[in-house]
A and B are shown apart, each in its own frame.
Chain A
């Protein structure tokens, strides 16, 4: 009878323990992240990465994303890209991870890969403002005005009173010789920023 009672107590204790829903591992990750956020707050990015080493799990989206960001902040762009890629493999629809990976890729001047990631974003979210505007800007800087307009058109339709959109739209149209259309956009840009002087020459303003 006594043995049965002891067994029941042990069983009950085990049940109570499992009822506490944060596992030891959950608690350790949470503590490590807490330290990592504190280190980041103090701009100690390398330490913020080291705070997570003991709990790093290669299949964790969250930890890969966090270390990717910290690696970017500490200037380790190749490592950052690798961690972001692991996060993207884990969560292929994640826009935040794709918007993150373009920062180290940009720092590494891997513009084709930057373009690939923005294109991947617009496949998921066809009207993503950041991706559409930046694709347009990259293609504009490459002199590929056709592709540039393809993405900027979406952007200015959704944000018709945005200075950057109208300015870039104007320059794209101007570059393909559609000067009247260009002036319409430049004039809109001047409504948003009347102090801008960057169109003065083409608009004949003294």
Chain B
């Protein structure tokens, strides 16, 4: 009898362990359903409703919830809320490039360009040859007329992507503004190979 009871106990414990190991908790099921609802609402462009679908989990400090809420707030034009959620996501997963890239969208909408630069530099701290970060840093510095700062970033970019219009075009303008006209012309010629109908270099290249 004792033997039988023990076997029943062991089997019950075993089954219970398996059930907890393989199954979803009630909370996980609710979270999954909330995500599902938020995707449906997002698909219908109802961003506020999609945020509401996740509202009960807004205080759950998980990376996934913050990234999702950040994106939906960005789509809903609530840039401060988006930036706040992305910031928390970055804190939870400091190496996450997807969260940093998302954070940059929100910061750019708020025109917080110094913070945008900080985030791109953090990305390069993780992945020094990251294409988007290098190109966009070069572009921001170019637009600030800080051509010397723009140069190393565009150089890294065009080394990895030598036949890319945006890259060779920006490299040309940076070199041109630094007074390296021969090098600039060489880049403009490459840009013309990619976009032969481009007219914006005509004056510099003396094309009639």
Contact = CB atoms under 8 A, between A and B. Distances in A.
Interface of A: 19-22, 26, 29-31, 33-34, 37, 61-62, 65-66, 91, 93-96, 124-129, 157-162, 179-180, 183, 187-188, 190-191, 194-195, 202-205
Contact of B35 (A22, A29, A191): A191
Contacts, number: 121
Contact of B192 (A30, A187, A190): A30
A191 to B, nearest CB: 5
Contacts of B63: 160-161
Nearest to A20: B206
Contact of A191 (B64, B95, B193): B64
Contacts of A179: 21
A93 B159 contact: yes
Contacts of B193: 29-30, 33, 62
Where chain A touches its partner, the secondary structure class is helix
Interface residues of B, number: 44
Interface stretch (B75-83, B107-115, B122-130, B137-145): B122-130
11 contacts: A31-B196, A65-B163, A93-B159, A93-B160, A95-B160, A127-B97, A158-B98, A194-B35, A202-B22, A203-B23, A205-B24
B207 interface: yes
Nearest to A166: B64
A202 B183 CA distance: 59
A96 B98 contact: no
A129 B129 CA distance: 11
Question: What is the interface of chain B mostly: helix, strand, loop, or mixed?
Answer: helix
A204 B25 CA distance: 12
Contact of B161 (A31, A95, A162, A188): A95
B32 A190 contact: yes
A72 B69 CA distance: 42
A175 to B, nearest CB: 17
A181 to B, nearest CB: 12
A12 B205 CA distance: 18
B189 interface: yes
Contacts of B190: 62
Nearest to B33: A194
B164 interface: yes
A180 B162 CA distance: 45
Nearest to B207: A22
A131 to B, nearest CB: 11
B21 A191 contact: no
B21 A194 contact: no
Nearest to B206: A20
B39 A125 contact: no
Contacts of A31: 196
Contacts of B126: 127, 158
A160 B161 contact: no
B31 interface: yes
A137 B68 CA distance: 26
Contacts of A19: 206
A202 B67 CA distance: 27
Contact of A161 (B28, B32, B64, B161): B64
A23 B76 CA distance: 52
